[in-house]
Amino acid sequence: MSASRRDYRINPLAVLIHSERMIHFFELLISTIAYRPYVFIFFACYLFLAITHIGWRRAALFTCGSPACRSWIRSRSRFCLTSVGN
């Protein structure tokens, strides 16, 4: 066997570990959807309406936002929580 073929052999242990991680990931994903279907239904409706009204680019920008925008909103909400209380 040449050196190049030997380098690309699949390690069965690595495949098993990788598959166990993927199984765990999909178990978490399915259980999350099963326990909170209303969240995903609301999100799907929101995406459908946002994409049909403002387009997929603006919907993605509005949904994800930029890191600077999220940081600004987070700092303002912290300020309101700490200064406008009892």
Provide the pLDDT for residue 44.
Answer: 93
When mean pLDDT is compared across 7-11, 19-23, 80-84, the lowest value belongs to 7-11
Query: Which among 64, 41, 37, 63 has a CA at the least distance from the CA of 50?
Result: 63
Helix 56-64 vs helix 37-54: crossing angle, to nearest 10: 130
Q: Convert the pLDDT of each residue in 13-33 to its tens digit.
A: 566 566 777 788 888 888 988
- Is the pLDDT confidence value at 86 over 60? no
Which residue did the predictor score with more confidence, 34 or 85?
34
How far is residue 20's CA from residue 70's CA, in Å, rounded to a whole number?
35
Confidence class for position 83, pLDDT limits 50, 70, 90: low
